[in-house]
Amino acid sequence: MTFKRKQRNSSGEILGSLQVDDAVIASVAADAALGCDGVIDMSGGIMGEIAERLGKRNQAKGVKIEATDGRLVIDLFLVAEYGKKLPDLALDVQKSVKQTVENTVGVDVTEVNIHIQAIASSRQG
């Protein structure tokens, strides 16, 4: 699926169109989520883990995008840091992802749904 919109200049004249693939939106959302304190990783499920072990890196792992009628719903599947308050973590991620995707892509994000798939100790690094 691809997000599409008409591009207009300041006087309203249509200049052409913009198409952004869901994989790009998902990558932007994943980067925003991973930048939040308390998010250890994205969770790609069993098939994602198998693909990763086979050497296929998925930039949009743990992100599901639904775009309908110019509205965007994003589901994020996260691994959270042990000891963090999950409601606060979810709110931080929701705000960050919504703002980043809206600013980067130029589409209204109507929902950012958080699914905590696991808890782990802090990132190594």
**Separation of first and last alpha carbons in the chain:** 36
If DSSP states are collapsed to H, E and C, what string results for 2-49? EEEEEEECCCCCEEEEEEEEHHHHHHHHHHHHHCCCCEEEECCHHHHH
Strands 71-81 and 39-42: antiparallel
Q: Which domains does the chain have, with CATH numbers?
A: 21-120 (3.30.70.1350)
pTM above 0.85? no
pLDDT class for 17, splitting at 50, 70, 90? confident
CA 47 from centroid of its chain's CA atoms? 19
* Digit-coded pLDDT (tens) for 48-101: 454 455 454 556 789 999 987 767 999 999 999 999 999 999 999 999 999 999
Contacts for 116 with CB less than 8 Å, ≥ 6 apart? 78, 79, 80, 86, 90
The residue written with tokens 């930039």 in the block is 59
